[in-house]
Amino acid sequence: MSSPPGAPTAVDVTRALLSSRLPLPTTTRLTLLSLVACAGASFATWWWLVLQRGNWRAAQLGCLPARAGAPDEVLNRFTGCVNDVRLAQSAVVLCGPLALLALALLWRAAGRRLSLWLWRARPDRPDRPDAPTLRPRLDAVLPEATSPRPVLWVRGRRIGVRARASGSRREPWIVADSHVFSLPDAWVEAMFRHELAHLRLRDVGRVRLASAAWWVLLLACTVPMAVSLILTPRPLGTGLLVRLTVILAIVGVSLCAVLQAREHDADLGADAAADAPPGAMADYISAAHAPSRRARLAAALGLATHPTSARRLEVLQDPARTWGLSWFVCLVTGLAAGLLFTDLALLIAALMPWRTQLAYTLAGLLTGWAVAAVVTVGWWRAAAVGHRDASLRRAATAGGALGLGVLVGSQLSGRAAGNWVQDTGTADGLATSLSLTDAPGTQVAALAVLLMAGGALLALWNTSLARALRASVRGPGSAPACAGAVVLAGLLTAVPLGSWFYLARLTAAGADTRWGVFDTPWWVTGSAVTVVGALTPQLAARVRTSVARSRTPVAAQRKAVVRRFPGAGASRRLATLVVAGCLVGAGAGWAAIGGEFSAPVVSRSSGRTATAPPAPRTAGGEDRTVPLGELPDLPPESERTPAMRADRAVVCRALTLEGTAAFADPARRAETAGLLGAVDDPVLRSASRVLLRDPSGPVDLDAVVASVLRCDLFFRYHR
For residue range 457-516, list pLDDT tens digits in order: 999 999 999 988 888 888 877 888 899 999 999 999 998 999 898 888 888 776 554 455
Scored b (16 or more CB within 10 A) or e, 659-670 reads: bbbbbbbeebbe
Q: Is the pLDDT of residue 684 over 90?
A: no
In whole angstroms, give the CA distance from residue 361 to residue 530: 13
Cβ contact 308:260 at 8 Å: no
User: Over the stretch 706-717, which tens digit does the pLDDT of each residue have?
Assistant: 888 888 888 777
How high is the pLDDT of residue 464? 92
> What confidence tens digit (pLDDT) does each residue in 453-464 have?
999 999 999 999
653: enclosing H helix or E strand: helix 648-658
CA distance linking residue 265 with residue 28, whole number of Å: 13
pLDDT tens, residue by residue, 396-441: 999 999 999 999 988 887 777 766 666 655 545 555 667 788 788 8
- Which of 335, 357, 336, 339 minimizes the C-alpha distance to 348? 357
Vertex 624: Cα angle to 619 and 625 (nearest 5): 150
Q: What is the pLDDT of residues 101-126, one digit of tens each?
A: 899 889 888 888 888 887 788 888 76
Mean pLDDT comparison of 42-51, 341-350, 447-456, highest-scoring range: 447-456
Amino acid at 506: L
Phi, psi (deg, nearest 5) at residue 374: -105, -55
Peptide bond preceding 148 in cis form (omega within 30 of 0): yes
First to last CA, the chain: 81
The answer to whether the beta carbons of residues 207 and 190 sit under 8 Å apart is no
Q: How confident is the model at residue 659 (pLDDT cuts 50, 70, 90)?
A: low
Q: Specify the higher pLDDT residue, 624 or 258.
A: 258
- Average pLDDT of the residues in 281-287: 88
Listed range (76-80, 144-148, 495-499, 644-648) with the worst mean pLDDT: 644-648
* pLDDT above 80: residue 183: yes
Query: Between 25-49 and 375-385, two packed helices, what is the crossing angle to 10 degrees?
Result: 170
Cβ–Cβ < 8 Å for 381, 445? no
Per-residue model confidence (pLDDT) at position 564: 35
- pLDDT tens for 328-363 read 889 989 988 888 887 788 778 777 766 778 888 899
Q: What confidence score (pLDDT) does residue 559 get?
A: 46
Report the pLDDT value the prediction gives residue 372, as an integer from 0 to 100: 93
Whether 711 and 619 have beta carbons less than 8 Å apart is answered as no
**Per-residue pLDDT for 142 more than 90?**
no
Per-residue pLDDT at 161: 64
Pick from 495, 415, 455: which is nearest to 330 by CA? Answer: 455
How far apart CA 87 and CA 83 sit, in angstroms, is 6
* pLDDT tens string 551-609: 555 444 444 433 433 344 567 777 888 888 888 888 888 887 766 555 443 433 344 44
The half-sphere exposure of 197 on its side-chain side, counting CA atoms within 13 A, is 26
Cβ burial of 626 (10 Å; 0-12, 13-18, 19+) is: middle
